[in-house]
Amino acid sequence: MLESKQIRYFLAVAQDLHFGRAADRLDVAQSALSAQIQRLETELGVKLLNRRKRAAVSLTDAGQLFLAEASAAWKQLQRAEHVGRLAARGEAGQVRLGYVASALTSGLLTDTLKAFRQEHAGVQMQIVPMETPKQIAALADGVIDVGLVRPRPQYPEGVRAELLRAEKLEIAMAADHPLSAKKVLRAQDLKGEAFIVPQFNESAGFSNNLRRLGELGGYLIDPAYAVNDFVTAVSMACAGYGVVLAPQSLKNFSPRDIVFRHVDGFDDVVQLMMAYRSREPAPAVQAFLKVARRLVSDIT
């Protein structure tokens, strides 16, 4: 197997066609340079250079052919070294990122991606929408590297989560809903309303928020509709099918004929967490986590 040093030494001699000048440029002894070239020729089994006492060094036919390949190989080695150093600094590589809808509507996804790209434009991002339970499983299985998720009471071994952002929950309803005339709602006002609930079957998250809202008003909320996402829920609310307990930021993505109202005394917030593997060796992923943490620090 050829060594990079042998290729570098050969290229220097081939360029200068003089062992002394090549040795000076490489800052090595001429005898060491000559020994490396002889070793290279022995390993290849062919003479690459013509050495004559009273004539300039010249390339043999085999040397000319080898020069073209050696030049290309040296450029590739230099590129590989450069890419390797970038990767070590987190400036190259790949980050596979999952996110829930609230990360998009709240601006967290956009803010984090923008800040990361400014410093790490060479890192490839793979971004996929995915609900929290699937993200947690994908993190544990190594399918994604980072997840923007809703909090969970506990996480699998080897997975950690940090709080990035929190926002208030409000009631979304059609603009012509009878309760829309009120600027602020009471929990009791919502008794008997048809609730449209995204992620209805999850054991954590918005199910707990709904339960606390009902307790505040002194009744049990029995969801009338279970849907897959907030966009669907808000669209149904706009059409008059019911009301939605939704993150405040959803206003930015809602139809024109939908309104949001705060519930007096209901101070629940929806949290967005950054989940990741606790032992993450990839520098690009570590760099992404660092940027996300800095954003939180800058906001607070």
Domain boundaries, the chain: 4-88, 93-164+271-299, 168-268
What is the residue-wise DSSP string for 6-55? HHHHHHHHHHHS-HHHHHHHHTS-HHHHHHHHHHHHHHHTS--EEEETTE
CATH fold label, 168-268: D-Maltodextrin-Binding Protein; domain 2 (3.40.190)
Question: Among 195, 226, 209, 215, which Cα is nearest to 270's?
Answer: 209
Tokens coding 189: 């006002």
The angle formed by the CA atoms of residues 25, 26 and 27, to the nearest 5 degrees, is 90
Question: Among 238, 280, 286, which Cα is nearest to 259's?
Answer: 238
pLDDT in tens, the chain (300 residues): 778 888 888 888 888 888 888 888 888 888 888 888 888 888 888 888 888 776 688 888 888 888 888 888 888 877 766 666 766 666 668 899 999 988 988 899 999 999 999 988 888 899 999 989 899 999 999 999 999 998 888 899 999 999 999 999 999 999 999 999 999 999 999 999 999 998 745 555 678 899 999 999 999 999 899 888 888 999 999 999 999 999 998 888 888 899 999 999 999 998 999 999 998 778 889 999 999 999 887 655
Query: Which class is 93-164+271-299 in CATH?
Result: alpha beta
The pTM of the full predicted model, rounded to 2 decimals, is 0.67
Amino acid in the structure at residue 186: R
Pick the CATH number of 4-88 from 1.10.10.10, 3.40.50.1100, 3.30.70.3270, 3.40.190.10: 1.10.10.10
Q: Do domains 93-164+271-299 and 168-268 have the same CATH topology?
A: yes
Neighbouring CB atoms inside 10 A of 41's CB total 19
Considering only the C-alpha atoms of the chain, give the largest distance between any 2 of them, rounded to a whole number of Å.
Answer: 106
Is residue 162 within 8 A of residue 273, CB to CB? The reply is yes
